Amino acid sequence: MKYFAIFLFALTFLGSCNSKTSENSEVSGKVEEVDAVTFKNLLASGNGIVLDVRTPEEVAQGIIPDAYVIDIYQSGFEEKLQSLPKDKEVYVYCAVGGRSRQAADILLNNGFTKVYNLSGGIVDWKKNGFEAVKAD
């Protein structure tokens, strides 16, 4: 029974990570799932900010250059998001895309309207040979 419950949880979690676009009638924006190449091109456009929602231990392994770091598990996560400019696009990532997807939905619920989630997270970013730097 314990394994069945774990299986159901994993199935639900994985299913939510595969959605391509999330639209909620209560919010005016949407989350776009993008691959690492598209994410890099978006960053190069200069139209937004990069948000890393991983834990401090993960961040110590390297971040995408110029990323803001706000740990999704940290208390006050939503309040900390308020320090980000709402008139900018937000490019959000985590390790493989699950937590950043949750963070993207939270961003939408907090007034951000254009949010991009890096499918595959920083793992996919590095697989594509893109730069990760040590956090300050």
- The CA-atom distances, in angstroms, between 101 and each of 52, 93, 125 are 11, 8, 16
Which residue among 43, 69, 94, 108 is the active-site one? 94
Which residue carries 């190449």 as its tokens?
Answer: 37
Cα Rg of the chain (Å, integer) = 15
Catalytic annotation present for 17? no
Burial 60-88 (b: 16+ CB within 10 A, else e): eebbbeebbbbbbeeeeeeeebeebeeee
Catalytic sites, residue numbers: 94
